[in-house]
Structures are given as structure tokens and as C-alpha cells.
Amino acid sequence: MESPDNIVVTPWGDLWFAEDEAVVGGDTRNRIMSVTPNGEVYPFASCRLNDSEFAGPTFSPDGQTFFVNFQNPGITFAVWGPFRLRNSRRQRQMAFAAPPESMMPEVSGELAKAAMRYGMSPLEAAAYDRLGVSLA
């Protein structure tokens, strides 16, 4: 990955992100790249954009249309599938993927209990705690 930003979880559970100015075979390209929950990487779109970049990738609520912008001159593109069928399990798996063990926040017993009480993962509870939201 080179300069990734602007991410979205697809309706079928892959992670798509805009990649600015990736060097591909000696050529500078802007790309929409994809990562599966298994860690497989594949490109979705690639092009040269002079003084611009992809931004704001997102899907329509029904999952049938992919929207992406060119920052300059401010154009939004709509891409219609066919896309894979919606997969809620894979969406949740990717949306709530835990960081590597070495980067996991420490979760106290009290915070873990609060997470269970509110039906959230310890990682979600740690994020709320870090933002100063009391779960007590």
C-alpha cells in the first residue's frame, strides 16, 4: 500500500481504499485497492490523475452502486455492478477486525464487563473509553 486513505467496507465484506500516487511499473497511478478479510489484495480501479486523486469511496444503501470522487475538478462517478452479493457476516468481520496483539489497547475488567452489558466488543468499548465516553 502506498499513501492509502478514504476507506469503505463493501457490501460483501472487503475493504476498499483510495491509494494516492502509487508507483506501478515505473508509472504513477491513483488506485482503488481492495483487501479481503483473508488479507488478499486486489485492484478495483487505476488511472492517472493530474493534480487530483480519488476521494470518498462509498456504496449506495442497497449496495448496487459504488460512488467515488476525483478531488479536482470535483467530479463524482457512479459505478454500477454487478457486484458480489451482500454478506453481513464478512462486513462485520472486516468492520470490527482487531489490530495486531501488540497494538491492542489494554481493557480493564470493569470495561470488559461494560462491553458485555452493552453488547459490544472490548475493542469498541476501549474506543469509547479513549474518547471519554463513560460506559459505567
Give the residue-averaged pLDDT of 97-120.
83
Q: Answer yes or no: is pLDDT of 113 > 80.
A: yes
Q: Answer yes or no: is pLDDT of 42 > 70.
A: yes
DSSP-assigned states of every residue in 5-31: EEEEE-TTS-EEEEEEEEEETTEEEEE
Instruction: Round the average pLDDT of the chain to a whole number and report it.
Output: 82
In terms of domains, do 10 and 49 share one?
Answer: yes
Amino acid at 20: D
Please report the pLDDT score of residue 48 as a whole number: 76
Q: Answer yes or no: is pLDDT of 15 > 70.
A: yes
Please report the pLDDT score of residue 78 as a whole number: 93
- Residue 57 included in any domain: yes
In terms of domains, do 109 and 79 share one?
Answer: no
- Residue 135 included in any domain: no
- Residue 80 included in any domain: yes
Amino acid at 69: N
Amino acid at 83: F
In terms of domains, do 66 and 17 share one?
Answer: yes
- Residue 95 included in any domain: no
Domain count for the chain, please give it.
Answer: 2
- Residue 44 included in any domain: yes
Q: Answer yes or no: is pLDDT of 88 > 80.
A: no
In terms of domains, do 61 and 116 share one?
Answer: no
In terms of domains, do 16 and 61 share one?
Answer: yes
Residue whose entry in the numeric block shows the C-alpha cell 483473508:
38
In terms of domains, do 72 and 122 share one?
Answer: no
Q: Which residue has the higher pLDDT, 45 or 100?
A: 45
Q: Answer yes or no: is pLDDT of 25 > 70.
A: no
Q: Answer yes or no: is pLDDT of 96 > 70.
A: no
In terms of domains, do 14 and 59 share one?
Answer: yes
- For residue 107, the enclosing domain spans 101-130
